[in-house]
Amino acid sequence: MSSKTFFARLRYFVKMTEYTPPRGMKDIDVEEMEKRMWVYDKIETVLRSYGFKRVEPSFVEHLETLTAKSGQAITAEIYHFKDKSGRDLGLRFDLTVGIARMVANNFAYPEPLKLYAISPMWRYDEPQAGRYRCFWQWDVEEFGSEEPYSDAEVIAVSLDAMKKVGLSGIRARISSRKLIDGILESIGTFDETKRLEILRILDKSQKVSHEELISMLKTAGLKNEDVEKLLGSVRLRGSVDFVSSALGKSNAKIEEALTEIQIVWDELSSLGVSSMCELDLGIVRGLDYYDGIVFEGFEQSLGSLSIFGGGRYNKLTGIYGKRALPATGAAGGVERLLIALERKGVFRNLPKPNRVFIAIVSDEVRSHAIALCQSLRNAEIVAEYPIKKWSLRRQLEYADVAGFTHTVIVGKKEVQTGLYALKELKSGNQVELSLEQIINKLAPVAQHG
C-alpha cells in the first residue's frame, strides 16, 4: 500500500469516527456556560451575604472515606478504581463528605464555621433527562452549633439563593429524622440496620405507589397495624401546631424533636421566610448520616421537582478526624436548577453585558486600535479586535453574527481626532464619542448605577 493510499484511508477513518463524551457525560457549550455563570454569581452573592466562605474539597477521595458512612453498598453507585500504586480511590459523589473531612482534620478553623462550594461530582447512575453521571451542585455547610438556629439559617439561605435566581415559588418542606425515629420507637424496637432500612423505604414514599410502599415495609418486617400507624404519621403535613396535635407526645424523642422544630420555625419567622415553609413528615432524606432536621426545596409551579435538600449530621466529622463537630447543610443540583429556570422563562429576560468589537480600517492604525481595546478592557468592558486579516466589511459582518452589542471603527480620521463612531448593533444608532465618553457610557458601573 502506498503512503498516499494509507493516509487517504486514515483521513477517512478519522472523519467517520465519532469522538463523543462517555455515556452519562456532557460538554457544556458557550450558551449554557453563560447561564451557569449567571446562576453561580447570583447564588454566591447570597451565600457570601450570610457569611459563608468558599472551599474546594478534593475531587478524588480514598474509597474508605466515601464508604465510611454510606457503607460498601455505595460502591455500586460511584466511580472507584485502583491507582498505579494499588490504592483504592473514588470520585466524590457529594460535597458534604469532603468538606466534613476537611473540617475534621483542621483545628485552625474557628467555630461556628460556615463554608460553601459550587463544584462537580460523579455518580454511576442510570442517565436520564437532565441527570448526568458528572453533575454540579451548590452546597452550604455549617459546623459547630448543635442549636436549631443553625438549621434555620441553612434553610433560609437556600430559599434566598433560589429566590435570587428567579424561583419566586420556592418552598421548603421540613421534617426531622429524630421525629421519625421517635415515631418508630412508639411502634417497636428496631436495631440500627432495620431502622436505616425502614428510613430508606420511607424516603421513596413520593417516588413509588402507596401499594408498593406498604409491600416494602411489610417485607422489612413491619406488621399491618404498624405499617398503617407509620404511614399515617409520615403523611402529616401542615403547621407545627397541627402536626404536634396529631402526633401527641408519646415519647421523649418525639417531644425533643417537636421542640427543635418549633425553634426552627421561630427562627424562620424572624428571618422572614416561614411563609415559604411547611412541616411535612414525608420528607426523610435517603443518606444515612442525617440525624436531625431534614428538608427539601420545591418550586411550586413545577410540581414535584426537588430543587435542593439537606439536613443535620452531628456525627459525620467524628468519623473522619479528631474534631467531632455538630453540623448541618444543604445542596442543590445545578442541572436541575437550570431546567427549572428554563421552564420558568428566567433566561429569556437576562440583561446582556456590552460587548464591543473594534474594527480596524488598516494596519497603520492597528497599534492604536489595540491600545483602545485595552483601555476598554481595563474599564471592565468586554472588547475584542480582529485576529484574522479581514476586510472592514468582513469584520463588521463578524461583529453582527458573533453577538457583539457595539462596534467601534478605528481609521486614520479617528486616530487624528480622538473621536470614534460607536454603533449599537441592535438599534443601528451611531454616535461619535471620545474614549472617555465610550467608557462612561458602556462600563458596568454606568449600566447598573
Smallest CA-to-CA distance from 133 within 120, 144, 145, 146 is with 120
Return the CATH number at 378. 3.40.50.800
Supply angle C-alpha 135, 137, 138, rounded to 5. Answer: 165
Q: Can you tell me whether residue 380 is helix, strand or coil?
A: coil
> What DSSP element (H or E) covers 295?
strand 293-299
Q: What are phi and psi of 274, to 5 degrees?
A: -65, -30
List, for residues 124-141, the tens digit of each pLDDT value: 988 887 789 999 999 999
Same domain, yes or no: 39 and 164: yes
Q: Is 262 exposed, middle or buried (0-12, 13-18, 19+ CB in 10 A)?
A: middle
Domain boundary among 348, 381, 415: 348
Q: 110: cis peptide before it, omega within 30°?
A: no
Average pLDDT, integer, range 389-393: 96
Q: Answer whether residue 336 is part of any domain.
A: yes
Instruction: Among 348, 377, 406, give the residue marking a domain's end.
Output: 348
Query: For the residues of 297-349, what is the DSSP string, one character each?
Result: EEEGGGTT-EEEEEEE-TTHHHHHSS----EEEEEEEHHHHHHHHHHHTGGGG
Are residues 233 and 376 both part of a single domain?
Answer: no
Residues of the binding site:
94-96, 123, 137, 141, 285, 289-290
- CA-based angle 98:93:140, to the nearest 5? 50
What pLDDT is recorded for position 217?
Answer: 84
Average the pLDDT over each of 20-29, 249-258, 417-426 and give the range with the smallest value. 249-258
Instruction: Report if residue 18 sits inside a domain.
Output: no
Domain stop point among 323, 348, 373: 348
Mean pLDDT, rounded, for 372-387: 97
**Between 224-234 and 192-203, two packed helices, what is the crossing angle to 10 degrees?**
60
Q: Compare 444 and 160 and report the one with higher pLDDT.
A: 160
Structural domain includes residue 195: yes
In the chain, the number of structural domains is: 2
Q: Which amino acids are annotated as binding site for L-histidine, given as ranges?
A: 94-96, 123, 137, 141, 285, 289-290
Q: Looking at the structure, do residues 180 and 227 belong to the same domain, yes or no? A: yes
E strand or H helix at 170, and its extent?
strand 170-176
pLDDT digits (tens, 9 = 90+) for 75-103: 999 999 999 999 999 999 999 999 999 99
What residue numbers bound the domain in which 434 lies? 355-448
- CA-nearest of 228, 39, 196 to 118 is 39
**Is 384 found in the same domain as 317?**
no
pTM for this model (two decimals): 0.87
Average pLDDT, the chain: 90
Please name the helix (run of DSSP H) or strand (run of DSSP E) that holds residue 135, with its range, or none. strand 134-143
14 pLDDT more than 50: yes
